[in-house]
């Protein structure tokens, strides 16, 4: 036998046909054995192999032949050894060029000894393999994270869609829907009129002018959104404390508290929410145009934004992550007046440019909407006069309920229980006191108390 193979070679069955293409995976190194005919080896071992009965066709023994090239116990014919040595020397030159001059070389053989490759190149290739494996692993992990986020977002959207069934009753007499989502060219939007009477609007405006301080709610910044307007605000708790101290009418502070409760219940009912809304933040604020800063003005009173995510108008995406108030689910603005110029509220597409709807403020009008990326909105410049409104943000997650609101609830219970007890003592009656208007008991109070 002309080639010493590490394993016994099975004899070809005389009746078994060799399928065409069998052994097509023959490695280049194995093919070189056949190529020895072209380098003057006729009459040598190759000619003997051709006629050997055990090797009717070399293509049916590629694995045995290839393993023979590197098997230590197999003495190869001198011609094959010379050819193998020449191949290794060529590879050394090619690897040297790769290492020194950066000329790429990809070894087609798997049997090449490791010592043929320069040490520095071996280390470089090892680092590259490890880097590629790490990058591949990181990409795989990132793809898994993205898939998880997509699944969670889809689940969140599905859960929210189950909760939202727009068009429920407004609960309170006198209030009526003026525009729904369809009229406002969007989703989860509503405009309600008749939430306040004209006298209630005036009373709350007077409360603002008496109790509000410049920059309240904006970390002391008197012009937080535009240098052309000044902002004055007051929270529910602050108004109640001022009322307790006698610095503002207590009934006005109580009205402020009750009105915010009224809007909350209207939002829950209209959007048919199966879980209650909790206050995230409440703020009565007036923005006043600065007369000498209106000429040539092109900015807004409040630029287009989204309440629970960071809007990137250029990319038309809204990223729901801090510092955005990601826990806010619904928003509402209750207007106290309309006797000013400019200051219209408007919705846009995610590009912050394409306006989809506009709402003109007026006494007792409320705009309610979901706080997500489906409702980018802004306020146009107030160019003359003073625009007053109560801004409300709600959350479905009780863990993010406003702490000040809890304090305000307790203060209302204390203040108005004492007031009712004093009244009963003066009249000498032993009747039960009327229901207390609190966060939990507003539904028990009369609908027309406001």
Indicate the number of domains in the chain.
1
CA atoms within 13 A on the CB side of 33: 25
Any domain includes 10:
no
What is the Cα–Cα distance from 299 to 221, expressed in whole angstroms? 18
CATH of the domain at 382: 2.60.120.620
Residues 6+ apart with CB under 8 A from 293: 227, 228
Any domain includes 219:
yes
Any domain includes 240:
yes
Contact 42, 89 (CB under 8 A): no
Could you tell me how far CA 418 lies from the centroid of its own chain? 48
What are the CA-CA distances from residue 49 to residues 21, 45, 74, 78, 140 (Å)? 21, 6, 16, 15, 51
What is the Cα–Cα distance from 244 to 403, expressed in whole angstroms? 19
Any domain includes 393:
yes
For residue 328, count other CB atoms closer than 10 A to its CB. Answer: 22
pLDDT, tens digit only, all 450 positions of the chain: 344 444 444 444 444 444 444 444 444 444 444 444 444 444 444 444 444 444 444 444 445 555 555 555 566 678 877 888 888 888 888 888 877 888 888 888 877 888 888 888 888 888 888 899 989 899 988 888 888 887 777 666 655 555 557 899 999 999 999 999 999 999 999 999 999 999 999 999 999 989 987 766 666 677 777 999 999 999 999 999 999 999 999 999 999 999 999 999 999 999 999 999 999 999 999 999 999 999 989 899 999 999 999 999 999 999 999 999 999 999 999 999 999 999 999 999 999 999 999 999 999 999 999 999 999 999 999 999 999 999 999 999 999 999 999 999 999 999 987 555 454 444 444 444 444 344 343 333 333 333
Is position 328 annotated as part of the catalytic site? no
Any domain includes 412:
yes
Any domain includes 392:
yes
Query: Domain limits at 191?
Result: 176-420
Any domain includes 450:
no
CA dihedral 35, 41, 44, 49 (to 10 degrees): 10
Any domain includes 404:
yes
Among 189, 264, 328, 387, the one annotated catalytic: 387
Structure tokens given for 42: 């006729």
Contact 309, 207 (CB under 8 A): no
Structure tokens given for 247: 């610095």
């Amino acid at each position: 036998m002309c080639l010493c193979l590490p394993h016994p070679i099975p004899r070809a069955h005389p009746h078994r046909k060799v399928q065409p293409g069998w052994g097509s995976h023959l490695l280049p190194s194995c093919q070189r054995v056949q190529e020895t005919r072209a380098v003057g080896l006729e009459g040598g071992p190759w000619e003997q192999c051709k006629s050997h009965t055990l090797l009717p066709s070399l293509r049916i023994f590629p694995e045995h032949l290839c393993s023979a090239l590197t098997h230590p116990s197999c003495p190869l014919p001198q011609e094959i050894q010379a050819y193998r040595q020449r191949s290794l020397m060529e590879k050394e030159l090619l690897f040297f060029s790769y290492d020194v001059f950066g000329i790429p070389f990809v070894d087609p053989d798997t049997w090449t000894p490791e010592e043929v490759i320069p040490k520095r190149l071996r280390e470089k290739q090892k680092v590259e393999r490890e880097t590629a494996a790490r990058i591949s692993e990181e990409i795989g992990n990132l793809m898994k994270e993205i898939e998880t986020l997509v699944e969670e977002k889809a689940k969140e959207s599905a859960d929210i869609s189950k909760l939202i069934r727009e068009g429920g009753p407004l609960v309170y007499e006198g209030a009526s829907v003026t525009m729904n989502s369809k009229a406002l060219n969007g989703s989860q939007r509503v405009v309600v009129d008749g939430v306040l009477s004209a006298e209630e609007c005036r009373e709350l405006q007077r409360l603002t002018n008496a109790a509000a301080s410049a920059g309240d709610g904006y970390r002391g910044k008197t012009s937080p959104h535009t240098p052309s307007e000044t902002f004055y605000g007051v929270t529910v708790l602050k108004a109640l404390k001022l009322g307790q101290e006698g610095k503002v009418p207590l009934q006005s502070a109580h009205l402020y508290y009750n009105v915010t409760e009224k809007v909350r219940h209207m939002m829950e009912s209209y959007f048919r929410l199966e879980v209650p809304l909790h206050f995230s933040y409440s703020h009565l604020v007036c923005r006043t145009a600065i007369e000498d800063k209106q000429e040539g003005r092109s900015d807004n009173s409040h630029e287009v934004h989204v309440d629970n995510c960071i809007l990137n108008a250029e990319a038309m995406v809204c990223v729901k992550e801090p510092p955005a108030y990601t826990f806010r689910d619904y928003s509402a603005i209750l207007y106290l007046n309309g006797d000013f110029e400019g200051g219209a509220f408007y919705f846009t597409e995610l590009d912050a440019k394409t306006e989809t709807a506009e709402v003109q403020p007026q006494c007792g009008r409320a705009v309610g909407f979901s706080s997500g990326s489906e409702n980018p909105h802004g306020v146009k410049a107030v160019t003359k006069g003073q625009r007053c409104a109560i801004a409300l943000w709600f959350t479905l997650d009780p863990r993010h309920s406003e702490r000040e609101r809890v304090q305000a609830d307790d203060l209302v219970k204390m203040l108005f229980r004492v007031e009712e007890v004093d009244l009963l003592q003066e009249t000498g009656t032993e009747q039960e006191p009327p229901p207390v208007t609190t966060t939990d008991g507003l539904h028990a109070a009369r609908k027309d108390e406001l």
